[in-house]
Amino acid sequence: MILTFITGASGQEARYRWDIGGGIGMSGYEGDANQGFIFSKPGFTATALARYNFDTRWSVRAQAQVMTLSGDTEAAGIVLPNAANYSFSSTTFDVGARAEFNFFPYGIGETYKRLRRWTPFVSAGLGLLMSSVESHTFTALSIPLGVGVRYKPAKRLNLALELTFAKTTGDHIDGPDLSDPFRIKSSFLKNTDWYSTLAVTLTYEFSERCTVCNRIQSMNADKRHTGPLAPPAHVAIIMDGNGRWAQKRGLDRSAGHVEGVNTVRRITEAASKAGVSYLTLYAFSTENWNRPQQEVDALMHLIVLAIERETPDLIRNNVRLTMIGDFTRMPTEALERLRQCMADTAHCTGLTLCLALSYSSRWEITEAARRIARQVAAGDLDPEAITADTVSANLATADMPDPDLLIRTGGDMRVSNFLLWQIAYSEIVVTPTFWPDFSEQMFYEAIDQYHNRERRFGLTSEQINNEKNR
């Protein structure tokens, strides 16, 4: 497991996938208007749009815009063969959809505080033109291509400047050909009809609705922390799928680890809202030390920077940071800086966030056995008095309850040497979703599954029911 709590992350705030807004700008027409000449005047355009963000790179938007397009040969200094001046004026509506690609990972929601607040982007799509020219109304298809820059001035606001050129299927300014209303038969590649817009848009991001989230958060707000719907006291997560998430998008594997930082923040906040007391994240396993030294050094450096950067937010949210693992293998400077972050949050009384760094369960159990053996050798412990509680008291998690719920992202059906002793009776939820895409709603849905499980601890359902009825 590689920690995804890394600075400079390109992440997505899944609660803010939608943004809606509009804008204004200038429009223009470039075409022959059946006269063999290009002429246009600046016009006005107004746009309304709704965008869905798949991640920090890709999004799709639906939009409707109205344009005023006009021109004349006299203004262009052109004299037609018959010496007549040709002019036109058109009110054109364009309704369509476009896909957008951000060149830089662009922060959504809270992530703008740690990610790029701006990015160049390109867009392409398909539209339906509806124009009115000299009392005639007609339709045509358009293929818009856009380039622009997007900037985030605040948490939920997005400001964009975009230049668009749209190729149309025929001489749409001159009126319709009733036998070919969409200009499919006409010479699409040879005609010179284009329209262009330069527009500024402002959009506002909206939260996704999460009925499970609201119900679980309401339980916490009502202080109902006992009974069948009590939140799990301890949730442990195997954060898997970062590399596959990146490879699926044609990115370097490291980009997946970077992307996951926002998921850590998002799930930490969700666990706190749900009333979870302990959240343990499998961050870096002892097996990861076998990776190339350059990669390990870079990851250790990024881990430290990220935790230091997040510490002020942890304090503001009353989250206490702890760590478990074999720290003898960690660089001295990195360990000292991490311990300082733990000391800075030691006074917090809310959620305890435990990072498993340089950790493996076999290492932990082996160390526990050594400690118990030393106690026996020193005469401080009778071998016959050793119980399961004795083992638990010598584990790295001795000051935490065993996990009630274990979540694994990425779809693999294994526990990967993580908390093997502690998860003996944990409820397990495996999701195929890669860690960078794991949302707050998915976390609450996992808790909902936990609520629907019958935890028998080796007993029968009848015994459990009889115990409840006493």
Indicate which residues carry an active-site annotation: 240, 288
What angle in degrees, to the nearest 10, is found between the helix axes of 211-221 and 440-451?
70
SS3 280: strand
> Is-contact 67 53, C-beta < 8 A?
no
In angstroms, what is the C-alpha Rg of the chain?
Answer: 30
Q: In sequence order, which residues have a C-beta less than 8 Å from that of residue 395 and are 6 or more positions away?
A: 364, 365, 368, 421, 422
Segment (H or E) for 358: strand 352-359
- Kindly report the three-state secondary structure assignment for every residue of 222-278: CCCCCCCCCCCCEEEEECCCHHHHHHHCCCCHHHHHHHCHHHHHHHHHHHHHHCCCE
Tokens of 240: 């898997």
Which amino acid, residue 399?
D
Nearest to 329 by CA among 281, 293, 366, 279: 293
Give strand pairing partners of 45.
Answer: 25, 67
Segment (H or E) for 153: strand 136-154
> Is-contact 72 85, C-beta < 8 A?
yes
> Is-contact 94 67, C-beta < 8 A?
yes
SS3 149: strand
d(Cα 56, Cα 10) in Å, to the nearest integer?
Answer: 7
d(Cα 76, Cα 38) in Å, to the nearest integer?
Answer: 8
Nearest to 356 by CA among 338, 372, 340, 373: 338
d(Cα 34, Cα 422) in Å, to the nearest integer?
Answer: 79
Chain centroid to Cα 239, Å, comes to 14
Burial environment of residue 138 by CB neighbours within 10 A (0 to 12, 13 to 18, 19 or more): buried
d(Cα 152, Cα 117) in Å, to the nearest integer?
Answer: 5
